[in-house]
Amino acid sequence: MAAWGWHSEVAIHVLRLVLSGALDRHPKLKLIIGHMGEGLAAMLVRSDKVLADDVNPTRSVGQTILDQVSITTSGLFTLPPFAVAVAVFGVDHVLFSIDYPYSTIGRAGISSMRSSCPPRNLKNCARECRSVAQAVVRTSSPS
């Protein structure tokens, strides 16, 4: 159960940071959270609607998160969550990472993720994919 609870707890913690005003008080603070945003990408619009009365009127919950949170791929290497992450957070806020030893990604996974990058951002995405691929080769090569 811990493997599932972790994601929910991180997402709730980020929401609490937003709702407490901590991110408004520290507008230069940047957070990086893993696992394609711990479900926040899929729930951002709903969070705006449900939590609208609990938030600073200058920025919505979603806008605060988009302004101050970047996410990593760690552990989720399939195209649907990647496509949602890029669509919601933008390719410049999706960082490639590996959740070793809990999960790994091979060259085929990197290639499929790379092919799903929007064409206008392919150069940035390809550079990131290439650096991940090089890291995978380094860590999986026998010493």
The secondary structure element, H or E, covering residue 31 is: strand 31-33
Structure-derived torsion over alpha carbons of residues 20, 16, 61, 76, reported in degrees to the nearest 10:
150
Catalogue the active-site residues: 99
Tokens of 83: 């496509």
Contact 15, 68 (CB under 8 A): no
Q: CA of 117: how far to CAs of 87, 104, 135, in Å?
A: 10, 20, 20
Q: What DSSP letter does each residue of 101-120 carry, written as one string?
A: TT----HHHHHHHHHTS-GG
Q: Token match 């940047």: residue?
A: 30
